[in-house]
Structure 1
């Protein structure tokens, strides 16, 4: 659901100062909690790639978070760049964005949705959210390699 009350999700072109600042914070957070070689976030150019759709979520006009869907192939999508703005933590931002990404992946015909995230304690809230949504640990997918600093998760989608 793209709009729920005061919440609004929009496809974002990454040109705004607020979204760029949030992504810079996201990049820094990833690098602060995992070695650089184990960080697999998409930079600004990567988020603009043809197989990636990037969204921002807003509440009453304020940027609350972001997320992206990278289509690996016609039947397999990957969640990228999920981040909640600090001012909106524990207000359901990530769940709303995850609902949106799941719906978009299904609408595009994906049969599976996967993700890579960190394995340190800093990533436990994200891991808990993904588990609540039925994601399960899996082996590395796409071009990923086994890495003790990465967790790989996946779930089948109902078409």
Structure 2
């Protein structure tokens, strides 16, 4: 699959639809208080790098973001449409965001994901993330898994 990944404004109808798909998937797995979606206005902040993956026809097929703060980069909004899965796109988006975090001077990436998101957990473990406890404003949650990875 041919694709490109680049920074984009998330406030376009096509990208909003992708974000809503990811939100609906999370809502189907976890109670509302266990979903920690970064809202659209926060995705547009100067401290957030939001990227969109597009296929060879220019259709948006994936998203991801890093929020830069507190000495680390937090991975947010990773989502790939089902038809584009299994082709290395999630790994490519993650690699792009890791490079952006390094370029911004961060040597640590952290994330929170859900316990039922087996594909995401496998990706993160394969790419060097290790489990840890809650960080930042997160609290223990039976539906959450917290992970981090050194980027140096």
Task: Tell me whether the two structures share a fold, i.e. TM-score over 0.5.
Answer: yes
Query: TM-score, with normalisation over the residues of structure 1?
Result: 0.90
Q: Which residue in 1 is equivalent to 2:35?
A: 39
Contact 2:43-2:49 at 8 Å conserved across structures: yes
Measure the CA separation in 1 of the matches of 2:90 and 2:30. 21
Measure the CA separation in 1 of the matches of 2:137 and 2:110. 13
Is the aligned partner of 1:18 residue 2:10?
Answer: no
3-state SS of 2:141 partner: coil
Partner of residue 63 from structure 1, selected from 60, 65, 70: 60
Is the aligned partner of 1:89 residue 2:85?
Answer: yes
Measure the CA separation in 1 of the matches of 2:80 and 2:101. 20
Q: Which runs of 5+ in 2 are unaligned?
A: none
Measure the CA separation in 1 of the matches of 2:28 and 2:44. 24
Contact 1:84-1:94 at 8 Å conserved across structures: yes
Residue 136 of structure 1 and its aligned partner are, at CA, apart by 0.4
Contact 1:72-1:142 at 8 Å conserved across structures: no
**1:1-159 correspondence to structure 2 within 5 Å:** 6-60=2-56, 61-73=58-70, 75-120=71-116, 123-158=117-152
Measure the CA separation in 1 of the matches of 2:87 and 2:119. 13
Q: Which runs of 5+ in 1 are unaligned?
A: none
Query: TM-score, with normalisation over the residues of structure 2?
Result: 0.94
Residue 87 of structure 1 and its aligned partner are, at CA, apart by 1.9
3-state SS of 1:140 partner: coil
Q: How many residues of Structure 1 are paired with residues of Structure 2 in the alignment?
A: 151
